[in-house]
Structure 1
């Protein structure tokens, strides 16, 4: 599949393109470090979000604890600044099978999709660390941008609507990431550009997996309701992307500085 064919459904799903002003800012060499650090954090947050879905909605405590142990070395590196990042290459393995609760209405589909997503996001996390090392970029704490929080504040508070909304938000985050990687690739050097292009296939699949789960969980009789929520979050997401933003991060809006 060509990059153009891969991106076609992404562009159809998103209701606006990344503003040129954001791309101009992202292309500046002085912004490379913030872009890489924020990308690194985004990969970890994506893995954490997927793990939240499994632990909250599907598995028993023992399986949930096994998942937490899987993620722990990656979180320790970021939040406690402990450990050697090179050792993470051997840590991205789930050592205990994850079994759905007997009474789970969501079942194996959510587990299968989210476990694969976690594995891929943690692999990308390690790859970003490799690139940061190559480019001499040191990790430092940064403030989160408004993007994810700006969508999550619109999530409903009752189930299963809350889960469906969160899955839709996940789809938009993955789709926007895919779009930005594709648009950034020609603006950076070949090493980084090739890396961004290599991420497109998995990011495109992640957004589709989130949408598939949202529709599976809601059921066919609720398809119009899900479509309505997708359209609602499309508008929320596009406003966060095109409206003025005084911050610069991977998912920030139109620069206003």
Structure 2
């Protein structure tokens, strides 16, 4: 078994379905590469935003939370407001774990440690995807989101701490699916892009495991039933027809 297979085996065991061949056939078309790279870029920011939101809502005090929000704003301005200045792109290297945790939360330090590392890596991937787009003269343009994340959010319970546990489980599935999609697409892309997607497998594989570990740490009971239920919803979103092609979309209904 290769290192590639070793990384993918637990992901395939975790996910309830593989990416449909119809999605791969559509996504591999050269004319769809600008769309997929743009959506991938936005997905990296959304992953960082999710991790930042978890820290701010559940762990950090107000001053730290406000500082984090201000720190992330340049990336959000670029995606949402067509900001031209790209001087912020390497600021992710300066983010540290010096965030004040609420003393009454026993899981605070674990959540901060894992989420800060995830934020730094996701924003580094954002930088890498943007570099690839610029090298190929692909301009960034705003696109609509897929139904995938909203479909998962509908599964989240409203009461705490189960709501936090469910959010972490959803995060695990999003990261695992990203990893599986990288692996599904890599053999069909040019050498540079294929190597880039393969390079993402290691960190993305750890991200989904970090989310699951946090979910079990925080939950007062075994999370297996919730993992199963949310996994069934995730597989349905991936397997059903979708009217737009995105990195996490379902079977292309328009192909």
Same fold flag (TM > 0.5) = yes
Task: Count residues with an aligned counterpart.
Answer: 253
In structure 1, the residue matched to 2:72 is 71
Residues 1:247 and 2:244 aligned together: yes
Between stretches 65-74 and 245-254, larger displacement belongs to: 65-74
Shift of 1:96: 7.7
Q: Is the 8 A contact 2:74 2:88 kept in 1?
A: no
In structure 1, the residue matched to 2:61 is 60
Q: Deviations over 1:158-190 (max 9, x none)?
A: 100100000000000000000000111010101
Shift of 1:237: 0.5
Separation (CA, whole Å) in 2 of partners of 1:90 and 1:15: 37
Separation (CA, whole Å) in 2 of partners of 1:72 and 1:91: 12
Residues 1:207 and 2:204 aligned together: no
Separation (CA, whole Å) in 1 of partners of 2:25 and 2:84: 36
Separation (CA, whole Å) in 1 of partners of 2:134 and 2:35: 14
Shift of 1:256: 1.0
SS state at 1:183 partner: helix
Separation (CA, whole Å) in 2 of partners of 1:170 and 1:142: 22
Shift of 1:73: 1.3
Q: Is the 8 A contact 2:97 2:116 kept in 1?
A: no
TM-score normalised by length of structure 2: 0.96
The equivalences for 1:38-187 within 5 A come to 38-85=39-86, 87-94=88-95, 97-187=98-188
Q: Is the 8 A contact 2:92 2:120 kept in 1?
A: no
Separation (CA, whole Å) in 2 of partners of 1:174 and 1:95: 22
Q: Is the 8 A contact 2:28 2:188 kept in 1?
A: yes
Q: Is the 8 A contact 2:38 2:140 kept in 1?
A: yes
Separation (CA, whole Å) in 2 of partners of 1:248 and 1:83: 27
Where structure 1 has 5 or more consecutive residues not aligned to the other structure, the ranges are: none
Coordinate RMSD, CA, aligned: 1.3
Shift of 1:244: 0.9
Where structure 2 has 5 or more consecutive residues not aligned to the other structure, the ranges are: none
Separation (CA, whole Å) in 1 of partners of 2:138 and 2:29: 15
Separation (CA, whole Å) in 2 of partners of 1:125 and 1:141: 15
SS state at 1:238 partner: helix
In structure 1, the residue matched to 2:194 is 193
Separation (CA, whole Å) in 2 of partners of 1:125 and 1:78: 11
Q: Is the 8 A contact 1:85 1:126 kept in 2?
A: no
In structure 1, the residue matched to 2:26 is 25
Shift of 1:72: 1.4
Q: Is the 8 A contact 2:96 2:116 kept in 1?
A: no
Separation (CA, whole Å) in 1 of partners of 2:180 and 2:85: 32
Q: Deviations over 1:38-69 (max 9, x none)?
A: 00000000000001110000010111122112
In structure 2, the residue matched to 1:231 is 228
- Kindly tell me: are residues 96 and 14 of structure 1, through their superposed partners in 2, closer, same or farther at Cα, counting changes over 3 Å? closer
